[in-house]
A and B are shown apart, each in its own frame.
Chain A
Amino acid sequence: MQERRRALERRAVATTFLVILQALATIFFVADIAGDIADDGWSMHLLVETGATAALLAGVVFGALQLRWLILRARLDETAVATARGAMSDLIRQRFLDWQLTGAEADVALFALKGFDAAEIAHLRGAASGTIRAQLARIYAKADVHSQVGLMALMVEDLVDGDAIKPVEA
């Protein structure tokens, strides 16, 4: 998440500098054309140069629009993740209530959902791994699953809408 945001920001900054250079070039040509017209009036050459300058100006505007798209998409992405995180937390909290986990069991179950194994959870909680294994067994029994993967799958099951994802590959 953090990495992706940084990469996007780097890209946006680079594009911004590019657009500034383009704007500088546009100003150069606009001033140049204005000077030439003031000196000698219109000519075929100036007409072509004006067309090229208009194209350059369009490039500046397009670059700026592209930048906005980049930034807004990054924000949408951020919002989506934040919303999903909120929904996930709600769901987990709800399930833990449903299963009537004790406080200690809820803590252990959360670590289990984040992918830690019994030994790691024991280390994190400063408890014996035997205790954690016993707690995990009680959690699995209450949730009616047989493994850590089963526990995770229960949560994913409720959050992922398979029908919404499948058509993408079609």
Chain B
Amino acid sequence: MSISSPLDSNDVAPSPSRSRRSWDPVVKVTHWSIVTTILANALITEEGSGAHIWVGYALAAILALRLLWGLIGPAEARLSAFPPSPRRALAHLRDIRTGRKEVHRSHNPLGALMVYAIWSMLGVIIASGIVMAGPPSTAFLNPAEQSGAVTGQAVAGHGDHDDDERDEGAEGEDSVWEEVHETAVNLLYILIALHIAGVVFETRRSGREILLAMLPGRA
């Protein structure tokens, strides 16, 4: 150990390992499970199938927990730590241009806008999905009927024994919601691409911290 003035360690003492940026386990788990549900519904489950709808409900539960965590979680996970502020986003852009690297405890202002954009898109996707699928119990019980309703054609001929009132007129309405659902999903893909591009950019600009902070193993 180097024996210098005993006083100079005062600068070091109040900065424990917390100064290193890292998300808490709840943020990490909700982030990666949302990734999993999006991948599952995009690649694996059949559109409008019971599994697709259930994964959608799981996504709703995860998002709900993350929003709740935004109210009661640790300081850096709270919504108040990264308010959607175009003014601060512009200031951050100026920082990028001038090469200044400010340390953000939470999301950086541009990242914050991305977070809210992705969350609202997920909200639209979940809402339109629920409108089409109905309550989870029926979605689970009649997956065939639901997928029939989603394709929005040739349902009138069969399968209208107990759901008459809901199927009537729902055809046109459902295709509107289907449109909303698909458009929102496509927008979500664009947002995700931008998000990944943003992470790559920040990683190049400010180091691997931003990437490591979301990976497991660093509480």
B-side interface mostly: helix
A102 to B9 Cα, complex, angstroms:
20
Q: Which of B17, B30, B135 has the most CB of A within 10 A?
A: B135
Is A16 in contact with chain B by the CB < 8 A criterion?
Answer: yes
A49 to B95 Cα, complex, angstroms:
54
A-B contacts counted at CB < 8 A amount to 121
B134-162 near A? 1/0 per residue, CB < 8 Å = 11111000000000000000000000000
Beyond A12-B26, A35-B134, whether A79 also contacts B16 by CB under 8 A is yes
A49 to B32 Cα, complex, angstroms:
32
Beyond A35-B137, A60-B65, A61-B68, whether A93 also contacts B9 by CB under 8 A is yes
A5 to B17 Cα, complex, angstroms:
12
Residues on the B chain within 8 Å of A159, using CB: none
Residues on the A chain within 8 Å of B134, using CB: 35
B28-62 near A? 1/0 per residue, CB < 8 Å = 11100100000000000000000000000110111
Within A16-36, which residues are at the interface with B (CB < 8 Å)?
16-17, 19-21, 23-24, 26-28, 31-32, 34-35
The reply to whether A6 and B61 form a contact with Cβ atoms under 8 Å apart is no
Q: Which of B3, B14, B217 has the most CB of A within 10 A?
A: B3
Interface residues of B (CB under 8 A from A): 1, 3-4, 6, 9, 12-14, 16-18, 24-26, 28-30, 33, 57-58, 60-62, 64-65, 68-69, 72-74, 130, 134-138, 216-217, 219
Given contacts A20-B29, A75-B18, A89-B9, 15 further A-B contacts (CB under 8 A): A12-B24, A12-B25, A17-B29, A20-B58, A23-B64, A28-B57, A28-B136, A31-B130, A35-B137, A65-B72, A68-B74, A83-B14, A87-B13, A93-B3, A107-B1
